[in-house]
A and B are shown apart, each in its own frame.
Chain A
Amino acid sequence: MHDIKRDEIMDLYKNPHNKGYMSKPTVSVSKKNPMCGDEVNLQLKIDNGIITDAKFDGNACSVSIISSSVLTDYIIGKSINEVKKIKKNDLLKLIDMNLSTSRISCASVVFSALQNALEDL
């Protein structure tokens, strides 16, 4: 990994975007990493089919935090239909961390939470 890229990633780990809890989310989903049991909670606020806000929290490792930060940034302002089209690989490309198989499962927890959150919408 290039140093600049690494610095950006580490900065996101130390100062993640959208971390915390919102009041009255439209939907809130907690998802566990089956590999290690870590949990990510994802909350969305939805107005007229548009995701107007997204937040995450939980006990999570750096990869999971970075992935959650990137994904929430990416979906805010998009319509549910657009977000439903996002594939796991799209997220992995967005975070661009060259992850090993075991760490891909860390990055994917928030994606699974998003899928669950959108299931009934």
Chain B
Amino acid sequence: MKDVRKDFPILNRTVNGSPLIYLDNAATSQKPKEVVDKIVEYYYKYNSNVHRGIHTLSEESTEMYEGARKLISDFIGADNPREILFTKGTTESLNRIAERWVPANLKRGDVILLSDLEHHSNIIPWQKAAERIGAEINYINTDDNGEITIEEVKKMISDKVKLISISHASNVLGTIVPIKEICKLAHDKGIYVCVDGAQAAPHLKINVQSLGCDFYAFSSHKMLGPMGVGVLWAKEKILKELEPYEYGGGMIDEVSFKNAAWAEIPIRFEAGTPNVSGAVGLGAAVTYLSNIGMDNIRNHEIELSKYLLEGLKEIKGINIIGPREADKRTGLISFYFLNIHSHDIASVLNTLGIAVRSGYHCAMPLHNKLNIPSTVRVSYYLYNTKEELNTLLNGIKKALDILS
């Protein structure tokens, strides 16, 4: 995996006089030159508004935009590219379902099932949607190892549950959630499943059809692509019945002074000028990831997780949260010390050029439930190395020397 580092120019920079060690990948990943070059090429050679244009640039731009849709469709194993909607990111993708699909399919007294490890963006949209229609929200609990067990899901399922919205992987615990099994269980009862894939799509080989979910949401910027673009995948059958999210130019078939008829999917869901360079950049990112191989990335991350778990365990007073087994995690480990604040550890690490995140990671309910203070989160990706983790481990020890 080491030779991928040359593809990421930012890894050559220094921070506070030391080489950058970037371990905040769960917040956003770095971008390979191929992705940045593709975006630059788009603006230098092809920039033009998509769809409807007769001139060459508009046709080429449309081809690139729709070509990216096809690349992404293949990357996640969708049935066809019409099932890929471009959004701003996972947050917007989830909000779209909560805003449009929920009111049309749920009624007063129905239940939306979430889990206790969710990011705020997979909690708040459902809270607001449930509030408007008088639905209820219940939570599936993680077990002592930070896992969601199928037994626990079974316990929470009732005739009132109409939708389960759950992360494929936790941004705090690192836990990989058994989506396939949950989907099977849910579909036997006629329950729909929406998956927040923000922390999984960058790390795991995704096939939405074999997972069996109804919706899958993810963000470009966490998987080597540019910021400001993301995807909502949904089954074509669902999309055909779904009300558009926004109204305006580009998403219509016919408009009169009185009303309008919608264009076909997916264009119906993309009112206004889309983020073409973003989509093209994400297309380049999934091409890059496919060339490396998602299985290779996964194996590399499991190796790093094993190594880091071992190293962290040696540190006195540390509390590691989430699954004890490396292969039950994506590429991240969070931990805390009882009397030392996570911000202070992150500050000391920053003086050594090491970027980690500290705080509640947009998962305050989870921290409160576990009754733990804010945590330090170390999240790695294909370009991180064991040598970097050694520097991190020494950095944590240094922070403890200074702070305790």
Q: Which residue of A lies closest to B359 (CB)?
A: A36
Known pairs A36-B374, A103-B347; A60 contacts B359 (CB<8 A) = no
Query: Which residues of chain B come closer than 8 Å to A35, judged between CB atoms?
Result: 359
| Contact between chains at B373 and A59 (CB < 8 Å) | yes
Within 8 A of A (CB), among B52-78: none
Q: How far is the CB of A32 from chain B (nearest CB, A)?
A: 10
Known pairs A36-B360, A37-B360, A37-B364; A60 contacts B341 (CB<8 A) = yes
* Top 5 A-B pairs, shortest CB-CB distance: A61-B341, A61-B343, A36-B359, A62-B344, A37-B360
Q: How far is the CA of A36 from the CA of B374 in the complex (A)?
A: 8
A38 interfacial by beta-carbon distance below 8 Å = yes
Q: Mark B354-380, 1 if CB is under 8 A from A, else 0.
A: 000011100010000000011000000
| Contact between chains at B374 and A38 (CB < 8 Å) | yes
Q: Which residue of B lies closest to A99 (CB)?
A: B347
A86 interfacial by beta-carbon distance below 8 Å = no
Q: Which residue of A lies closest to B368 (CB)?
A: A37
Q: Mark A17-54, 1 if CB is under 8 A from B, else 0.
A: 00000000000000000011110000000000000000
Q: Which residue of A lies closest to B341 (CB)?
A: A61
B402 interfacial by beta-carbon distance below 8 Å = yes
B403 interfacial by beta-carbon distance below 8 Å = yes
Interchain Cβ contacts under 8 Å between A and B, 16 examples: A13-B403, A35-B359, A36-B358, A37-B374, A38-B374, A59-B374, A60-B341, A61-B342, A61-B343, A62-B341, A62-B344, A62-B347, A62-B403, A63-B343, A63-B344, A106-B343
Q: How far is the CA of A62 from the CA of B343 in the complex (A)?
A: 8
Binding site for A on B (CB under 8 A): 341-344, 347, 358-360, 364, 373-374, 402-403
Q: Which residue of A lies closest to B402 (CB)?
A: A10
Binding site for B on A (CB under 8 A): 10, 13, 35-38, 59-63, 103, 106
Q: How far is the CA of A10 from the CA of B341 in the complex (A)?
A: 14
Taking a contact as CB atoms closer than 8 A, the residue among B343, B347, B402, B403 that contacts A36 in the complex is B343
Query: Which residues of chain B come closer than 8 Å to A36, judged between CB atoms?
Result: 343, 358-360, 374
Query: Which residues of chain A come closer than 8 Å to B374, judged between CB atoms?
Result: 36-38, 59
Q: How far is the CA of A60 from the CA of B342 in the complex (A)?
A: 10
Query: Which residues of chain B come closer than 8 Å to A62, judged between CB atoms?
Result: 341, 343-344, 347, 403
Query: Which residues of chain B come closer than 8 Å to A10, judged between CB atoms?
Result: 402
Q: How far is the CA of A61 from the CA of B359 in the complex (A)?
A: 10
Q: How far is the CB of A7 from chain B (nearest CB, A)?
A: 11
Q: How far is the CA of A62 from the CA of B404 in the complex (A)?
A: 11
Q: Which residue of B lies closest to A106 (CB)?
A: B343
| Contact between chains at B344 and A61 (CB < 8 Å) | yes
Q: How far is the CA of A61 from the CA of B402 in the complex (A)?
A: 14
Query: Which residues of chain A come closer than 8 Å to B358, judged between CB atoms?
Result: 36
Query: Which residues of chain B come closer than 8 Å to A37, judged between CB atoms?
Result: 359-360, 364, 374
Q: How far is the CB of B121 from chain A (nearest CB, A)?
A: 16
17 further interface pairs, Cβ-Cβ under 8 Å (given A59-B374, A103-B347): A10-B402, A13-B403, A35-B359, A36-B359, A36-B360, A37-B364, A37-B374, A38-B341, A38-B343, A38-B374, A60-B341, A61-B342, A62-B403, A63-B343, A63-B344, A103-B343, A106-B343
Query: Which residues of chain B come closer than 8 Å to A63, judged between CB atoms?
Result: 343-344
Query: Which residues of chain A come closer than 8 Å to B343, judged between CB atoms?
Result: 36, 38, 61-63, 103, 106
Q: How far is the CA of A13 from the CA of B340 in the complex (A)?
A: 11
Q: How far is the CA of A63 from the CA of B341 in the complex (A)?
A: 10
Q: How far is the CB of A14 from chain B (nearest CB, A)?
A: 9
Query: Which residues of chain B come closer than 8 Å to A13, judged between CB atoms?
Result: 403
Query: Which residues of chain A come closer than 8 Å to B360, judged between CB atoms?
Result: 36-37
